[in-house]
């Protein structure tokens, strides 16, 4: 179980947000609905989707590393 207020929990939340937004960016209807606003609070999702698509290899390696960390080293 990951504590929401720990550094591990923050990293897991950020990685899951980036992965989810990167996936949702590939779906046309969701892309229009979620990522039309590029500024403000809703712009966070747009920026996370850009990170998820451009740095997909780095994000995937980070997800696997974090999963290994939480499963075996924690």
Q: Please tell me the predicted confidence (pLDDT) of residue 4.
A: 64
Is residue 2 in some structural domain?
no
pLDDT at 14: 93
Within-domain flag for 21: yes
Question: Do 52 and 23 touch, CB atoms closer than 8 A?
Answer: yes
pLDDT, residue 34, reads 78
Summarised one tens digit per residue, pLDDT across range 2-57 is: 666 888 888 999 999 999 999 888 888 878 887 777 888 888 988 999 999 999 99
Secondary structure of residue 35 in the 3-state scheme:
coil
Q: Are 55 and 7 in contact (CB under 8 A)?
A: no
The pLDDT of residue 29 is: 83
CA dihedral 62, 68, 71, 74 (to 10 degrees): -80
Its domain, for residue 13, covers: 7-73
Number of domains composing the chain: 1
pLDDT of residue 58: 94
With respect to residue 68, please indicate whether it lies within any of the assigned structural domains. yes
- How many residues comprise the chain? 74
């Amino acid at each position: 179980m990951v504590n929401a207020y720990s550094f591990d929990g923050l990293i897991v939340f950020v990685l899951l947000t980036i992965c989810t937004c990167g996936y949702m960016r590939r779906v046309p209807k969701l892309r229009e609905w979620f990522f039309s606003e590029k500024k403000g609070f809703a712009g966070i999702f747009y920026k996370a989707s850009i990170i998820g698509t451009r740095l997909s290899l780095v994000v995937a390696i980070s997800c696997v590393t974090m999963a290994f960390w939480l499963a075996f080293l924690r």
